[in-house]
Amino acid sequence: MDFPGSLRPTVFMTGPLGLSDVPDMSFMCSWRDALTLPESLPQNSENGVPHVAKGLLWEPETPGPLPLLPPGPDPWHPGLTAQDLLFRGGHPFQKQPRVVLDVTEQLSRFLWDHGDIAFAPLGKLMLENFKLEGARSRSKKKTVVSVKRLLQDLDGHQPWGCPWAYLSYRQRRFSILGGPILGKSVANLLGDLLHEELVTRWEQLLLDDAFTGGALAWVPGKTPRVGQLVYPAGSTLDKLYFQEVSLTPGGNPQVLRDPGHIQLRGPVRQVVTRTVQGESLLAVRSDYHCALWKISRQGRPAPLQVLQVEKGATGISLSPHLPGELAVCSRSGAICLWTPQDGLRRVYKDPDTLVFRDPSPWRWADFTAHPRVLTVGDRTGVKIVDTQVRGGDCHRQSSRTEQRHGVGWGRDLPEGMKSSRSVSPAGGDGAPDLGLGGLTRFLSQGPPGCGLLLFRGGAEASCQKGERVLLTQYLGEGSPESLHSTLHLICTQFSLYLVDERLPLVPMLKWNHGLPSAPLLARLLPPPGPGCPRPLLLGGQDGQLQLLHITGEEASTPRLAGPPQSLPSRNDSLSAFPVLEPKSQWRLQERLKAPTIGLAAAIPPSASTPILSLFQLSAAGDVFHQCLRLQADPGPDSCAPTVSWSPQATACCSQWLKALLEVPPAPPVWAAPTFSHRRLLGCVEQREVEGKVPEGLRAAMAEGRLLQQRDLGSLPTAEPPPAPEPGPDDELSKRLEAAWEGRAAAWWERRQGWSSGPRQQPKRHKRRTQLSSTFSSLSGRLELSDATSPPPSPDPEARPRPPGTPPSQELAQEHWARGVPSERQQTLRDYMAKLPLREDPLEDASAPPSQTSSIRATRSRQRTLQDNTAKPPLQMDTPEGVSVPPSQTSSIWATRSRQRTLQDNTAKPPLQRDTPEGAFVPSSQTSSIQATPSRQQTPVLSGSQRIRKKPRMGF
Amino acid sequence: MSDFSEELIKSTTEDDQGERCELSGTGMHFPWLQKHIETVATGGKKEKDFAQTTSACLSFIQEALLKHQWQQAAEYMHSYLQVLEDSDSCKRQAAPEIIWKLGSEILYYHPKSNVEAFNTFADRMKNIGVMNYLKISLQHALYLLHHGMLEDANRNLSQAETWRYGEKSSSQEVLINLIQAYKGLLQYYAWSKKKMELSQLDKDDYAYNTASQNMLDHSWKTSVNLGALIQIPGVWDPFVKGYVEMLEFYGDQDGAREVLTNYAYDEKFPSNPNAHIYLYNFLKREKAPREKLISVLKILYQIVPSHKLMLEFHRLLRKSEKEEHHKLGLEVLFGVLDFAGCTKNITAWKYLAKYLRQTLMGSHLAWVQEEWSSRKNWWPGFHFSYFWAKSDWKEDKALACEKALVAGVLSGKGTWLCFLFI
């Protein structure tokens, strides 16, 4: 291979990031990179200005990408936003707003929504201080509070600190009494855990590196025009779809038939494909598993291997040189190479980061021009590591730690695949220091075998302060014809670097991409035509796309040919959709704004102008497509002509939108257990007269959608709809009129009936779902659907309901419950039901202790919640008699992700293919249990014995 | 004057900004953090209207640039210049650099712009503030150089060279060195032009003497200009090349050797393969002993085992008398063929086939085994697969034959036959 004869002059400085003394020579102009130094004078003076392709432009055919496939049937929830996590107060004394995680609000929401969990044990401790109805008051002590009175006082009390709420002396006494205990204990126990969890969530919101590399792949088919898109879809992204697509000469792709799919056990995070020596291979990374398929000529995937990564996989890459080889990185800092011959082999392990200390466990590995040399990357730098097996420094590990073959496949793999074959040490002890291609290159830096830094987050590449590596990628294809077989792409949040592995530490090209989101996706495409520069696509997480033209033959340094270009994002397609009512519009916007998690592109051969077909996958599982046409030399006056939507495009969009709106909206991830609105609806039902209006109202409430005219039917003319509020004057005159006639009270009642009755409930419902969805950050998506039931239907009726109280008990409670508002009654009733004072507590109290572990607000390791409950608190959520197996609980933790947890994953075989041959259930979830050691401690039952001695109510 | 003092305290304010963006606890900066905060922050000090409009304008310019709408970008730029009046000193200081970056880009790509417009813009920008003078001068000169206007570039660099402000900071020093070096490069270009003319002249001519006298002057100036920079760690290929050429021309072989040795072996420099290649080529020109050449290439081999000089290295090693060199010769060939970019190098395969036979005849089976044992589990799939056999046979029969030969020697007759006939 030829090395560029003369490199661009660069100052080389060693030092930490953001060294202010380094003159930043790149200065971040794209034009500066296009500059060439005249090699020798005569040639230059004759030729004048060397030709630089100034007007290289890929012109989009539509103003934005179009949906390629109809939306999936599962609802999608956009997840947490900054508003859910950050403190929303004013900062009067600060110039710039600061980020403050709002622990207090989350905590108070927890106390409000889960008061039973938070206070029940304390309540039991303080039982002596309560006088429950029915028990005779024995003492006139000031430390005993009457529950009934207290609840009566609380009637109408607004929970969110309503300043006008009336405080009775009883309440005051109660708060004085209980304040120190109630306020502190819960906050102390939960505060730290909650804060930790919020920090994790916030960091995830700022940078979600799970989808680094992208989960969309284009597998070329038999002819250059046909290929397959491989991508995950479904609400949990656990179905891997294979969609055959044909690219027409006009550039528009045609979906060929219904996609095939493979059901996997976890969410798919990364899909990689390579065609090596005519073999198409497909590697998939999930959180704790990696899998490899071979795609046959007919486009059918055949499974080759599954690897289990106990600490969690962060990256997978396929070798461009040898069919079937892949490198996997785990959070523990280990890099493993899997080869068909040797099986799995750990080639590198370092829990620490390369250059300086950084807490991120993200690791990345890719191949280089040498098939046995890998790059190993983390947030601080990238290193080249030789993986050749030789005598002495054989990194071979026992097959135990990182490797477990054959898990979850439809058939048992032959024995030879399960354990890696041993390779005799090469060369014996006489292995020389020189020679052996790969290794020798590393002798110049550091001790042998420890590798050589290819990229260092520091002054060498004039990195900024706080700059971190987000993506590294080998740009060579393995075929000897490829020009960039030694180039590596390194992306940080600020810049893009091209580094040649033969000249480590000094970037050949640096460009400030300025993307407003993390660039986690990159694709280098083949040149669209002879002599054309190669398009390099860079995709930000929020959907921004940039296209760079990389030129440079083997014997010259890589350069940008022409200024980089931004491509339309999915957000730009909004104008192609018809205008909707606000709620649907908002839903559409959310959907279009979903993070981009995959990027694929193909350049179909075309006779005239080159065409680039660009596919994007969003976190909602939507595949969008855009067609771009290369404008090689636009005229001098060409500012990019504005394209507009064609009728076909808008038709396609409205069709897609129709399908989207038919998908039911995402149900609230979690509903407060004590106030199921089913119950509220029940109460309403009893009171109200039957009619079309209340029915429509209820239906709308239950589905949480906008109340529309058609739901209500023809409204009685006497009662105008509340929407056009009569002006205050008007209202006043009516009131006065009524007063004159002596019917002021009736008027007031009627008015009350209108405004506060039915209209308050949807509001409250909305507020609650909002609260709860926010709070779900804390609870880590507790979806305790039972393992045996069919997958939850979108019908809200099918959601878990609070346990029904036995009728006898209800009767017994009637007498004391009078006078307490219905909402409170339910709380009280539930609370009573939880008290261990009943004669037959056994049947209820048998919830498995493992559930408790799932309530732990964070996945923190060593903390124990000194639970004073006599009973695991979450019993309320699950239908009675169904206990959640421990495995499921922990697997909820195993897939802590933005996706919802896998439904009934114990019942489903992992990685089961949809063909019958592949039915095989492995030994279930052991791995995920190990991956996140869930503590299955039984809560400390300190309070229960003591309470028993003084039952105040005679159940 | 207030401008200057502001710029001197710039570094501290920058740090403040850095801390402001951090906030995540990991030390990482997120350019998109502000966006998140803005969705939440309700109170606090609102940005002034002025700041809002300028930042909106900036984003419009950036967007227009990325969409190649040069005309529009220029219009926005026109409005953006108001940022120089910003009352926020921090922003005001950062402004010239941003304006230069964006403005020069617009002028570089704008279909209606010309060199004059660029010159005017650059000259204006140089004198706004003090911190950017050197950088802009340098880039301006590079622009002129790229457009073939060497005279103007030289004048620009000369002006910049003498510019000083305040105490010389180290970054300023590097920049001045760079400016001098580029000036030296320009002089080298002029020199090599003269050399060319000279080679066309008759030696006895009177003109020859004056011309050579001229060249001597140039050489002296250039060596001053170039010598300083190449002491600083960095990649200085064009400068070193030119400098060495001049030194050689004037017979200062020792000086040239020193420069090259320093450039190649100084530990503070990045491991630049070109440094070793230049040194090797110089030594070759100098007809240095084979031992010397081998030792230079040995280091290049450690850095870039895939370089095309490796075949030359192999030839040298083969000719050497030492046994260890013969062994290294085998290693080098294997090393070259390890790389994806070299798999179709027929010369390497020819050499390997020939040398394998030679080694085995010399009864050094152990050498071959040693090389082969670390490769035997991947070379067959990498080089001798059915796929490559077929495609090589289709494209280049000679290559296929050489590969088959090597495969046969390395893995026994069986494999070889497989390779050839499957």
pLDDT of residue A36: 58
| Paired sense of beta strands B234-235 and A10-11, if any | antiparallel
Identify the pLDDT of residue A599: 94
Contact B308 A12 (CB under 8 A): no
| Bridge partners of residue A344, in order along the sequence | A338
Choose among A276, A297, A277, A272: nearest CA to A221: A297
Yes or no, beta carbons of A206 and B36 under 8 Å apart: yes
**Contact between residue A402 and residue A336 where contact means Cβ atoms under 8 Å apart:** yes
From CA B119, how far away is CA A290, in angstroms rounded? Answer: 57
B304/A493 Cβ within 8 A? no
- The parts of chain A modelled with pLDDT lower than 70 are 19-55, 89-98, 133-143, 153-168, 389-451, 478-483, 553-555, 607, 632-642, 666-693, 706-730, 753-955
Asked if A55 and A634 count as a contact pair (C-beta separation under 8 A), the reply is yes
Return the residue of B nearest to A482 by Cα.
B341
Q: Give me the residue label for tokens 């704790």.
A: A288
B 304-323 residues inside an 8 A Cβ radius of A: 304-308
Tell me whether strands A611-618 and A226-233 are parallel, antiparallel or unpaired: unpaired
Q: How far is CA B258 from the centre of its chain?
A: 22
Q: Where are the beta strands (DSSP E) in A851-895?
A: none
Q: Which H/E stretch holds residue A119? A: helix A115-125
According to the model, what pLDDT value does residue A775 have?
33
Distance CA B63, CA B77 (A): 12
**CA neighbor of A325 nearest in space, from A363, A369, A364, A292:** A292
Given a contact cutoff of 8 angstroms between Cβ atoms, the answer to whether A241 and A233 are in contact is: yes
A503, A544, A593: best to mutate for the B interface, most B CBs within 10 A: A503
Give the type of residue at B38: E
Q: How far apart are CA B307 and CA B341, in angstroms?
A: 10
Q: How far apart are the two ends of chain A, measured CA to CA in Å?
A: 88
- For residue A781, what are the contacts with CB-CB under 8 A and spacing of at least 6? A669, A670, A892, A896, A900, A901
Q: A560's torsion region: left (phi>0), alpha (psi -120 to 50) or beta?
A: beta
Q: Does B78 reach chain A within 8 Å, measured CB to CB?
A: no
Q: Rounded distance, CA A617 to CA A600, Å?
A: 9
Rounded Cα gap, residues A372 and A363, in angstroms: 19
Q: Is A40 helix (H, G, I), strand (E, B) or coil?
A: coil
CB-closest option in B24, B27, B374 to A390: B374
Query: Using the beta-carbon criterion (under 8 Å), do B271 and A445 form an inter-chain contact?
Result: yes
3 state SS for chain B: CHHHHHHHCHHHHHHHHHHHHHCCCCCCCCCCHHHHHHHHCCCCCCCCHHHHHHHHHHHHHHHHHHCCCHHHHHHHHHHHHHHHHCCCHHHHHHHHHHHHHHHHHHHHHCCCCCHHHHHHHHHHHHCCCCCCHHHHHHHHHHHHHHCCCHHHHHHHHHHHHCCCCCCCCHHHHHHHHHHHHHHHHHHHHHHHHHHHHHHHCCCCCHHHHHHHHHHHHHHHHHHHHHHHHCCCCEECHHHHHHHHHHHHHCCCHHHHHHHHHHHHHCCCCCCCHHHHHHHHHHHHHCCCCHHHHHHHHHHHHHHCCCCCHHHHHHHHHHHCCCHHHHHHHHHHHHHHHCCHHHCCCHHHHHHHHHHHHHHHHCCCHHHHHHHHHCCCCCHHHHCCCHHHHHHHHHHCHHHHHHHHHHHHHHHHHHHHHHHHHC
Secondary structure of A201-225 as H, E, C letters:
HHHHHHCCHHHCCCCCEEEECCCCC
Structure tokens, A166: 């009336």
Give the pair of three-digit tokens for residue A11: 């100052």
Rounded distance between C-alpha atoms, residue A356 and residue A377, angstroms: 13
- For the record, the structure tokens of A251 come out as 């550039």
Beta-bridge mates of residue A244: A228
Residues whose CB is less than 8 angstroms from the CB of residue B351 and which lie 6 or more positions away in sequence, other chains included: B311, B314, B333
CA distance A289 to B399: 42
Q: Is the CB of B237 less than 8 angstroms away from the CB of A494?
A: no
Mark yes or no for CB contact A503/B111 under 8 Å. no
Choose, out of A14, A44, A277, the residue to mutate when testing the contact with B (most B CBs < 10 Å): A277
Would you report the helix, strand and coil content of chain A in percent, each value rounded to 5?
Answer: 30, 20, 50
Q: Is B360 on the interface with A (CB under 8 A)?
A: no
Which has the closest alpha carbon to B48: B5, B91, B19? B91
| Structure-derived torsion over alpha carbons of residues B261, B265, B268, B271, reported in degrees to the nearest 10 | 120
Interface check for B239 against chain A (CB to CB < 8 A): the answer is yes
pLDDT value at residue A97: 60
Looking at residue A38, its pLDDT comes to 55
What pLDDT was estimated at residue A839? Answer: 43
What is the DSSP-derived secondary structure letter of residue A678?
A: H
Strands A145-146 and A130-131: parallel
Q: Which residue of A has its CA nearest to B381?
A: A322
Name the residue among B14, B62, B304 with its Cβ closest to that of A3: B304
Output the CA–CA distances (angstroms, integers) from residue B326 to A430, B64, B323, B362, in the order listed. 16, 61, 5, 11
Kindly report, residue by residue over A149-191, the tens digit of the pLDDT. 777 766 655 545 555 555 667 777 777 777 777 777 777 778 8
Cβ contact A320:B382 at 8 Å: no
Alpha helices, DSSP H, located in A671-756: 677-687, 692-703, 709-712, 728-740, 744-755
Q: How far is A51 from chain B (nearest CA, A)?
A: 10
B68 and A639 within 8 Å at the Cβ level: the answer is: yes
| B328/B318 Cα distance (integer angstroms) | 9
User: What is the phi-psi region of residue A840: left when phi exceeds 0, alpha when psi lies from -120 to 50, beta otherwise?
Assistant: beta
Inform me whether the pLDDT recorded for B52 exceeds 60: yes
Output Rg (C-alpha) for chain A, integer angstroms: 32
3-class secondary structure, A454: strand
> Which residues of chain B are within 8 Å of residue A5 when distances are taken between CB atoms?
237, 274
Name the pLDDT band for B340 (thresholds 50, 70, 90): confident
Enumerate the β-bridge partners of residue A343: A339
pLDDT of residue A376: 93
pLDDT in tens, B195-218: 887 777 766 666 667 767 766 666
Q: CA B196 from chain center: how many Å? A: 27
Longest dimension (CA), chain B: 87
Closest CA to A505 of B239, B297, B272, B28: B272
Cβ–Cβ contacts within 10 Å for residue A713, how many? 12
The pLDDT of residue B347 is above 50:
yes
The rounded radius of gyration (Å) of the Cα atoms in chain B is: 30
* CB–CB contact A82 B233 (8 Å): no
CA distance B118 to B105: 10
Indicate the DSSP class of residue A86: B
Angle, CA A587 vertex, CA A582 and CA A593 arms, to 5°: 125
Nearest CA in chain B to A204: B24
In angstroms, the CA A950 to CA A132 distance is 12
> For B244-276, what is each residue's pLDDT tens digit?
988 888 888 898 999 999 999 988 898 899 999
Are B195 and B246 within 8 A, CB to CB? Answer: no
DSSP A66: E
Cα angle A224-A228-A231, degrees, rounded to a multiple of 5: 145
User: What sign does the dihedral A179-A182-A188-A193 (CA atoms) show?
Assistant: negative
Under 8 Å CB-to-CB from A61, ≥6 apart: which residues? Answer: A251, A626, A627, A628, A629, A643
Size of interface A-B (CB pairs under 8 A): 350
Three-state SS at A908: coil
Per-residue confidence (pLDDT) for residue A551, from 0 to 100: 81
SS3 A734: helix
Is B145 in CB contact (< 8 Å) with chain A? yes
